[in-house]
Amino acid sequence: GNFAKFLKNVHTEQAAKLQAKNQHECDLLEDIR
């Protein structure tokens, strides 16, 4: 139903944020080296 769809969207959004954060940290590490 709608609730499941809502949960899926929230989860996807969280995953995307985490992905972006990790990518950013990797980029920072690359810069340091």
pLDDT at res. 29: 93
Q: Rounded to whole angstroms, how far apart are CA atoms 6 and 24?
A: 27
Q: What pTM does this model have?
A: 0.67
Q: Closest by alpha carbon to 10, among 33, 22, 2, 27? A: 2
pLDDT at 13: 98
Q: How many CB atoms lie within 10 A of CB 14?
A: 10
Residue 25 CA to residue 8 CA, distance in Å, equals: 26
- The predicted pLDDT at position 33 comes to 82
Closest-CA residue to 14 (of 6, 26, 29): 6
Q: What is the pLDDT of residues 1-33, one digit of tens each?
A: 999 999 999 999 999 999 999 999 999 999 988
